[in-house]
Chain A
Amino acid sequence: MDAHIKKVYVPMTETGFYILLCLQEEAHGYRIVQRVEELTAGEVRLSPGTLYGSLSKMEKDGLIELVREEEKRKVYRLSALGGQVLALEEKRIERLYRNMREVQENEAR
């Protein structure tokens, strides 16, 4: 993974993270919106302008691949590079969560 990708995507925006998370399975843009709503019980709703911009950029940077077009909707899937970036983010978020718990537990004592 080159330095540019790391600099742009680690850490990434919430929108970016949810896109990669969802695209472990093939999906089109609106399917991602629906999936994220389900996952977050409606708390995170992606807007089309933000989503379209992120998808275009990620496709250009090779994080996701176009699988096919389905009635004017582009269906994407995570690429190998996207998988590596997602793994990096997952590690970072796990660390954040672990640290949060550690600090909270120390304070509770």
Chain B
Amino acid sequence: MKRDKQTKTEVRLFLVTQWEKEQEYLQRRHREGWKFERISGLAVYHFTRCEPEDVVYQLDYHAEGGKEDYVQLFRDCGWEYLQDFMGYSYFRKPRAAMRGDEGIFCDSASRLEMLQRVFRGRMVPLLVVFFLAVLPNLWESVRSGGEDRAVLSFLFLILFFVYLCIFLSFGWKVWQLWREESR
């Protein structure tokens, strides 16, 4: 972590399903006087010094991200558009400009639809890679054994667990939303 007076960068990894955690993280930083500027690389967050303020950050996953009419509607509703990154659009709005609690979604149906977009955009490709590359390769290297393949087996084993974590966290997310919806 690099630190000077006016700017800082932080490396934070969030799974594709952890946008709520990411929103909370950005909100927390803003409350501490660090305003989010942009995200770059894989997970490098850039901040600048600011007055501590309660600002709500929201992420939407959308193929339309960045499109003029899409951004304009959010602007009209008082949300500042920050950037698009890996399919996610970043927005923020100061709590002081809100009446009560406010988010970019106002019902469970649309939250569920966002989850579906994440699933189609990110999970489907992952599942394809998982079943067509990770699983067969893991199976192959374990079956053939041999010292020379130990490293490869280990790598595929790690990949296997990373993928498993992502799938489980996605399943957990769906379960949470489903519970919310049926409450």
Interface residue? A62 (CB, 8 A): no
Cβ B76 vs Cβ A29 within 8 A: yes
List, in ascending order, chain A residues with CB within 8 A of B77's CB: 30, 33, 47-48
- Closest beta carbon of chain A to B157's beta carbon, Å: 39
Cβ B107 vs Cβ A56 within 8 A: no
Cβ B76 vs Cβ A47 within 8 A: no
Cβ A73 vs Cβ B73 within 8 A: yes
- Closest beta carbon of chain A to B43's beta carbon, Å: 24
Q: Using known A-B contacts A13-B109, A29-B76, A74-B69, determine if residue A49 contacts B102 with beta carbons closer than 8 Å.
A: no
List, in ascending order, chain B residues with CB within 8 A of A5's CB: none
Cβ A47 vs Cβ B72 within 8 A: no
0 or 1 for each of B3-18: is its CB under 8 Å from A? (1 = yes): 0000000000000000
Cβ A50 vs Cβ B105 within 8 A: yes
Cβ B104 vs Cβ A47 within 8 A: yes
Q: Using known A-B contacts A29-B73, A56-B64, determine if residue A48 contacts B104 with beta carbons closer than 8 Å.
A: yes
Q: Name A's interface SS.
A: helix
Which residue of chain A has its CB nearest to the CB of B103?
A47
- Closest beta carbon of chain B to A11's beta carbon, Å: 12
A69→B106 CA distance, assembly (Å):
25
- Closest beta carbon of chain B to A72's beta carbon, Å: 4
List, in ascending order, chain A residues with CB within 8 A of B60's CB: 49
- Closest beta carbon of chain B to A8's beta carbon, Å: 11
List, in ascending order, chain B residues with CB within 8 A of A74's CB: 69
List, in ascending order, chain A residues with CB within 8 A of B110's CB: 15, 47, 49-50, 53-54
Which residue of chain B has its CB nearest to the CB of A50?
B110
Residue of A15, A30, A71 touching B107 (CB-CB under 8 A): A15
Q: Using known A-B contacts A33-B76, A33-B77, determine if residue A47 contacts B69 with beta carbons closer than 8 Å.
A: no
Besides the known contacts A30-B73, A45-B106, A47-B105, 6 further A-B residue pairs in the complex with CB atoms under 8 A apart: A30-B76, A45-B102, A48-B73, A48-B77, A53-B114, A73-B73
* A residues neighboring B (CB under 8 Å): 13-15, 29-30, 33, 42, 45-54, 56, 69, 71-74
A-B contact pairs, 12 of them (CB 8 A): A13-B107, A13-B109, A47-B105, A47-B106, A48-B73, A49-B58, A50-B104, A50-B109, A53-B114, A72-B71, A73-B72, A74-B69
What are the 10 tightest A-B residue pairs by CB atom distance, in nearest-first order?
Answer: A49-B104, A30-B76, A50-B110, A47-B106, A72-B72, A48-B77, A72-B68, A29-B73, A48-B74, A49-B105
* B residues neighboring A (CB under 8 Å): 58, 60, 62, 64, 68-74, 76-77, 79, 99, 102-107, 109-110, 113-114
